[in-house]
Structures are given as structure tokens and as C-alpha cells.
Amino acid sequence: MFRFLHRGFLILALACLLIAPGGEKKEIAAGPPPDVPVRVAKATVQTMPVQIIAIGNVEAFASVSIKPLVSGELETIRFEEG
């Protein structure tokens, strides 16, 4: 049984060696890349709208929680969002 497996392995190994490409690979010299078309336009000064109308969600980068250093209630918080 082992002799049969040994022969089969040898035959498979020889077949792989014969099928595998031999020799060195020839490298084809690559020329320079093709030219890329470029468009040119004159710069102009104009106003840009600041408002963007879109549907989506807004999430704050950071949040702050205000805690008093003394015990008691806060009567007012003098902070405006924005």
C-alpha cells in the first residue's frame, strides 16, 4: 500500500515538474505612460454660497457637561450654543 502511494507521489511530482514553466521570464521593456489630457481655465473671483441644502444627520465633534464645584442648584447657565 505504501509502495503504491510512494509511486503515485513520485508520478505526481514528476508531472508537476514537467508541466511547470521553466527558464527565466523575459521582461518586456515598458515605455513611458501615456499622456494625460489637461484642461486650463482662468481663475475668477466670485462669492460662494455658505448654505448647503442637504438631508442628513449632524453630530458634534465634542460635548461638554457643566458641573458645579460647590453643592447646590445652578440657577442659570450663561452659555449660548453656536
- Tell me: the pLDDT tens digits for 12-69? 777 766 666 665 666 677 788 888 898 999 999 998 878 878 888 888 888 888 877 7
Residue 25 corresponds to which amino acid?
Answer: K
Determine the Cα angle at 49 with ends 38 and 42, to 5°. Answer: 30
Q: Report in angstroms the alpha-carbon separations of 30 from 13, 33, 34.
A: 36, 8, 11
pLDDT of residue 17: 66
Rounded to 5 degrees, φ, ψ at 6 are -65, -45
pTM for the whole structure: 0.24
Q: Quick check: 5 pLDDT over 60? A: no
Q: What is the C-alpha to C-alpha distance for residues 60 and 63, in angstroms, rounded to an integer?
A: 7
- In angstroms, rounded to a whole number, what is the distance separating the alpha carbons of residues 66 and 80? 13
CA–CA dist 16, 14 (Å, integer)? 5
